[in-house]
Amino acid sequence: MSTSPAIERIVTHPGGSHKDELLACSLLAAVHGVEILRREPTAEDLADPATAVVDVGGEHAPERNNFDHHQFPADHPPVCALSLVLQHLGLYEDARTFCDWLEPAEWFDTRGPNVTAKWLGLDRDTLAKLNSPIDVTLLRRFAKASRLAPGDVIYEMMRMTGQDLIDYVRSLRLRLDFVAAHAQLWTVAGEEILFLPRTEPMPDEPSSGIGRYLESIGKEKEVSALVYPDRRGTGYGLSRNNDHPAFDFTRIEGEADVHFAHARGFVAKTSAADLGRLRELLEVARV
């Protein structure tokens, strides 16, 4: 994270609002808890490091907390005010890795809906059908405000959004590091399996982050099943990875130590903790 001076206020442009400056201001509000002013910045604002100028001002100078992208050339890679604030907070690379919505948001803000729809392989009408009334309301209410301060409803919604985004990115990085430190790759019945052992202490959601971890090591297609600690018991969960057809866990529903097998065969729960027994169950479930 940058060590630029503390922020005392956030300034962003008036008029219509977009997702990039709303989220960029949300992040800064979560970190600094200061008022948001929707007006054109002055030369004094741009020169004052205590004033964060977001998505306006024609300058990207993070050492002075200025985060505009509109001055970048037309062929610049798609980055928006949100991208610049994430970079400033040291979260950008992880956010691009963990938040599938971020890159389309960058394209939408810098390239517009038609080019973005084509890049996504969609037609413009399909893209419009993905609009959320939550987005519409927050953006409209944000656009109508000239000043938002702590305690205001929209400000607190923005602050929670920013904090949740920060927490998600940071916690998922910790979770991926945890999975990387403990995961084992098995081969059972000719199939590659990811096994995550029980540890002390246990994460709240033991299986969370496994999919992202497999993507990070290029194994999202090779691994066909997952074995991970059951958060509701002392045994393990067994599940297909990306609904891989190699396993049908209804095949083990009659086993004495299996207390749940989904009727569609994609997941089962067992009280077994012995590694040999877990391998046996996988062998039986192999289609």
The yes-or-no verdict on residue 3 having pLDDT over 70 is no
Alpha-carbon torsion angle 263, 268, 269, 274, nearest 10: 150
Q: Could you read off the pLDDT of 56-110 as tens digits, one per residue? A: 999 999 999 999 999 999 999 999 999 999 999 999 999 998 999 999 999 999 9
User: What is the distance of C-alpha 86 from the center of its chain?
Assistant: 12
3-state secondary structure of 273: coil
Domain ranges of the chain: 9-173, 183-285
* Topology of the domain covering 183-285: Diaminopimelate Epimerase; Chain A, domain 1 (3.10.310)
At 264 the pLDDT is 96
pLDDT in tens, 234-277: 899 999 999 999 999 999 999 999 999 999 999 999 999 999 99
Cα 257 to Cα 206, 227, 277, distances in angstroms: 20, 15, 10
Cα–Cα distance, 47 to 42 (Å, whole number): 9
Residue 249 DSSP one-character state = G
What is the residue-averaged pLDDT of the chain?
A: 94
DSSP for 163-227 reads HHHHHHHHHHHHHHHHHHHH-EEEEETTEEEEE----SSPPSSTTTTHHHHHHHTT-TTTEEEEE
Could you tell me the two tokens for 13? 């442009």
pLDDT given at position 121: 95
Cα maximum dimension of the chain: 74
Whether the pLDDT of residue 2 is over 70: the answer is no
Contact yes or no for 68/13 (Cβ under 8 A): no
DSSP conformation letters of 119-162? HHT--HHHHHTT--HHHHHHHHHHHH-SEE-TTSHHHHHHHHHH
What pLDDT shows up at residue 82? 98
Q: What is the pLDDT of residue 201?
A: 80
Three-class SS state of 25: helix
pTM of this structure: 0.83
H/E element holding 67? strand 66-67
> How far is Cα 198 from Cα 234, in angstroms, rounded to an integer?
9
